[in-house]
Chains A and B, each alone.
Chain A
């Protein structure tokens, strides 16, 4: 019996990248998602698709504790139910209209999302938090090969300049990987800047590796 592949946590975004009262686009292996934070800071995620006419919810806007679709202003609450349809202001929207909330958890400065509630919490990378996210135009294999990083449970151990780091890799397409870099939580801004520059150098190397392989 195959384990349910959708019941595991995916590192979808960096917590600091989602300000209060905003929504961003992200992705699970199963498809695009919208990740949003309410005005009071609570994090939520849904499939990136309004059930009305399929508009990407990540283009919408957050008011208070709800997410509104930018097309017709349909408003969704934390459980995914539609709270309000502006074209019919006196209608109580039927419970059948739901934008499909997904399990979400914030840990180590990362927003983790799953398709189906996993059995346990996301892995705790103790003492680490998120530096930033980047998209690499390379496969996870090319990244591992070019960084010569050590594969550990859930990530790739590398050094960014002088700083030990973990790269969380999520394959997006056949040639793109979404990468979140974790470094020691106490790292100060100038050191973070150095680590970020090293990460970009890593990316250049991994992307060149991928190119070489493609040309071979």
Chain B
């Protein structure tokens, strides 16, 4: 499996993150998205006329939607990351995967404008992003009332991975995460997963590493 990847792309990160959590290795083909605009160049347009990344290639199959890549990795390696069988869970999963695209468009759009000189209506993107975050906070608060953390089936699934990166990077587009305590708790639970990897702007949990001070204390 080859992932056409950009280190600063949260959509590419979704795929890298899930692969790491599944302990699956990907062959990475780095794309000079910025400043090189390689995704709009001849070679990559031939592979993906949409001119976007990530692109996942597995034999004859070429996937260009990150949600599909997450579903594919889970279906192949650990179906526990998909929804349980049944209409309700299936619908919930689709709801959140669709919702993740709103996050990409709004929070991701604001981030590109503020960080990488992209053109766009920043205020509209930020307002859309804030509206989406409020909805997510509301849903996660409801989960917490039931003693749950994740979005679907009370377990971590591709729905959480699909929504996580653009939410975590909202401050890149000047959308603050301070008003959303349930989102913070949910993000922490994702970052605490074994095999979690970082991307710039999304830190690992240093507190999970052994405390260097504890190691140097004398044993009496």
Contacts and interface: CB of A to CB of B under 8 A. Distances in A.
Direct contact of A and B (CB under 8 A): yes
Contact of B145 (A21, A59, A64, A189): A189
Given A133-B181, A135-B179, A84 B213 contact: yes
B77 interface: no
A26 B212 CA distance: 29
Contact of B206 (A22, A61, A132): A61
A133 to B, nearest CB: 6
A64 B211 contact: yes
A62 B207 contact: yes
Contact of A13 (B181, B185, B213): B181
Nearest to B207: A61
> Interface size class for chain A?
20 to 34
A59 to B, nearest CB: 8
B141 interface: yes
B21 interface: no
B219 interface: no
Interface string B170-201: 00000000110110110010000000000000
Interface of A: 13-14, 17, 19, 21-22, 24-26, 59, 61-64, 68, 70, 73, 75, 84, 86, 132-135, 178, 189, 192-193, 196, 200
Contacts of A132: 141, 181-182
B207 A63 contact: yes
Q: Is the interface of B mostly helix, strand, loop or mixed?
A: helix
B196 to A, nearest CB: 14
Contacts of A86: 212
Contact of A19 (B145, B188, B213): B188
Contacts of B79: none
B124 interface: no
6 contacts: A17-B182, A22-B188, A26-B178, A63-B211, A73-B206, A196-B138
Interface of B: 138, 141-142, 145-146, 178-179, 181-182, 184-185, 188, 203, 205-207, 211-214
Given A21-B207, A61-B205, A189-B145, A200 B138 contact: yes
Contacts of B214: 64
B179 A196 contact: no
Contact of A134 (B145, B146, B179): B179
A59 B204 CA distance: 12
A22 B181 CA distance: 12
A24 B142 contact: no
A84 B146 CA distance: 40
A83 B184 CA distance: 27
Contact of A17 (B138, B185, B212, B213): B185
Given A84-B213, A134-B179, A193 B142 contact: yes
A21 B185 CA distance: 12
Contacts of A135: 179
B40 to A, nearest CB: 35
| 3 smallest beta-carbon distances between A and B, as pairs | A17-B181, A135-B179, A189-B145
A192 B145 contact: yes
A25 B188 contact: no
A193 to B, nearest CB: 6
Contact of A196 (B142, B184, B205, B206): B142
